[in-house]
Structure 1
């Protein structure tokens, strides 16, 4: 009973801090301090100092600001316009036509930004005005953007996979490779849904305004070459074993700067704006990670993770039942916190249960990202919904309704990787340990 009281008190304290608007990092630090001070005899100052330094002094974490900076540079370049021009000529005969630009554009940009919100903002700014001008149905325009922008969390280089890898001491390179097939699966699911919907709603899809010869299509597709080279340079160097994720991130930044310079968008202002944007975002994430690392150690001293794991064990849940319960838990939590906060906040408590159930931590990393993706388009605090609301001025519930079919497709993907885990594990196993 005393253990349950301790857990409830710390949980209520955490929720109260988060609800009051205090920064997530400060909330995590405060709960960790309370846990050590009141429920263990460990030296608070020493534990805090060594833990925060250890969490900050991580070479794997160096990839984080570099990938964020790469995304910031490309966010200020002509990348989105190049993608629209390069993709649209090839989609005129596919049912749904230019709606697929949202899906494929988000998939490509996700592979060079690593951020869901940046993907939604960048592709949305480019595609929504173009699709509206051509009279595409508003609900499908918004839905395809909201759903596809979540690919930024999964398709490598994913910021949230770096965070998960650091928090759980998993190989970031293997996590990146593990995200490729599930990300591709989601793209096929989204494209398939748009094709089926369009075949039943032909009258809502505008007819193509021009028919281009093959030579013109190929000419316009040349604008995709720099983006493809950038993706190959970053992901290919990791997969080939030439570079670590951190080295590949540095290569990505260099290539992004070269692309921006060749495209005429790199000047003093855009360079400094990108650098400051990356610095702010990286500091926020690093601060949250430091707080989460301290909370993890503090919870270890209190014994809460072990007690929870034992408590869950008394229910005799099968791995599938445990995953279903965790999915609901993460979706609810994701309604109130951003994805990175969800991951760092829960890993210390969840991982002992996951390992006790015999679930592969590498596979679970992709599972948790998929669930967090679902939370990104779930009201009231789905980050993608906010981004699209800001772009369109629409009511957030209308955006959420438009995104609902894609939420359900994410559920389908979650079921598929659970029933067929090799979708996640086959590429990392080919890569080796």
Structure 2
């Protein structure tokens, strides 16, 4: 059986198992086992152990459950409500009002966590209940969270930029600097779309617009000071080079516990509930990551990613056509693999043809992350979709449909940095 035939069989099996309601992680594992069986490889246990251990034993992943726990603590105290009350006067006259909370919160938290999954899980845990309680449109609330959660891949510190930098031998520090302006551009695009949507669908944004004086606005910020101090402390410790992201996550948990204690809302029950909530969410994410790693290994054995990349390379395309084909390739691969796996599987094959076409590897790294961000909200294996599904219990396709406008905005961002590559290269060049 050819590689493409095996890929088609695996695609059918993946959709069938997901439609049957099987756990996502178990589905990925079973599809990986099927792929290996079709190749005549029956060493499932050994390969699964090797793949999953390599995927979940990375020390940088220790930051993920810690950041999620920090969000759980904040979610169970008044600090999460203070976030809404503090920003409400500033967003009250902006079309879309509190829908922008997902975008701004994800943008801020992405600069702390470096993880798309941690960003979506933590911010969603805090904002979705508040938006639902206030009566905001459910689909738009999920869409803004799914789209903005991908910012964790781009805004530094970014785990996937580190992976690309190592694989492509590009300066990680320059990649971090290059990701800053595109990250801010995405925040602007998301907020702009949300405002346009709100103007066309006023029924999805409850409440009458109110006028707040500047005094009232600054007074409302007082409740935000503890949370802002915590975020600035975590950010400052990372960018100041004092601690690693994992250590900063641990300090963030301690800070959240301290703030909850000072506010008088840190009860033993809240502590246990926050800890168990973090354990459940983290286990869900890591179990999916382990399943994705095993499926990635099976795909590597089949040779499907390399085959697709080689076929594109053999076409002798112009730079723009090459980027268009690579966009399709990465989105297609992202339908089945996690973002880091896409980078690891394809960089060694794709980068030589990219450099031969005269494309800057630094610019290509940011482009690649943008495309991988698109794949995070693309069914059937969009990682952010799984995280939000676990938080809300909503149907995966419903969440994917809600995230579709933000998928298109990410595609627009890819076009913008292609037309104006200076959006990516200006900052690194000025600091060289």
Same fold (TM over 0.5): yes
Match of 1:78 in 2: 78
**Contact 2:73-2:256 within 8 A present in 1 as well:** yes
Q: State the Cα distance separating 1:431 from its structure 2 match.
A: 8.8
**Contact 1:309-1:353 within 8 A present in 2 as well:** yes
**Contact 2:371-2:414 within 8 A present in 1 as well:** no
Q: Which runs of 5+ in 2 are unaligned?
A: 355-360
Q: TM-score, normalised by structure 1?
A: 0.72
Match of 2:218 in 1: 218
CA separation of 1:281 and 1:213: change in aligned 2, threshold 3 A: closer
Q: Deviations over 1:409-430 (max 9, x none)?
A: 3332232234344545666788
CA separation of 1:125 and 1:307: change in aligned 2, threshold 3 A: closer
Match of 2:324 in 1: 324
Q: State the Cα distance separating 1:16 from its structure 2 match.
A: 0.8
Match of 1:124 in 2: 128
CA separation of 1:75 and 1:97: change in aligned 2, threshold 3 A: closer
Match of 2:63 in 1: 63
Number of residue pairs matched by the alignment: 412
CA separation of 1:198 and 1:70: change in aligned 2, threshold 3 A: closer
Q: TM-score, normalised by structure 2?
A: 0.73
C-alpha distance in 1 between matches for 2:87 and 2:198: 19
Match of 2:281 in 1: 281
C-alpha distance in 2 between matches for 1:191 and 1:102: 10
Q: Which runs of 5+ in 1 are unaligned?
A: 133-137
How does 1:263-302 map onto structure 2 within 5 Å? 263-297=263-297, 299-300=299-300
C-alpha distance in 2 between matches for 1:28 and 1:201: 38
Q: State the Cα distance separating 1:246 from its structure 2 match.
A: 1.7
Q: State the Cα distance separating 1:126 from its structure 2 match.
A: 1.5
Q: State the Cα distance separating 1:63 from its structure 2 match.
A: 2.1
How does 1:21-420 map onto structure 2 within 5 Å? 21=18, 22-29=22-29, 39=39, 49-94=49-94, 100-101=100-101, 103-105=103-105, 107-108=107-108, 114-120=118-124, 122-130=126-134, 132=135, 142-143=139-140, 146-155=143-152, 162=159, 179-194=179-194, 208-209=209-210, 211-297=211-297, 299-300=299-300, 303-328=303-328, 341-343=337-339, 346-358=342-354, 359-360=361-362, 362-372=365-375, 374-375=377-378, 396=398, 400=401, 405-420=405-420
Q: State the Cα distance separating 1:252 from its structure 2 match.
A: 1.9
C-alpha distance in 2 between matches for 1:64 and 1:152: 14
Match of 2:358 in 1: none
CA separation of 1:320 and 1:24: change in aligned 2, threshold 3 A: farther
More deviation, 366-375/30-39:
30-39
CA separation of 1:56 and 1:348: change in aligned 2, threshold 3 A: same
CA separation of 1:249 and 1:197: change in aligned 2, threshold 3 A: closer
C-alpha distance in 2 between matches for 1:102 and 1:227: 16
Query: How well do the aligned residues superpose, as a CA RMSD in angstroms?
Result: 4.8
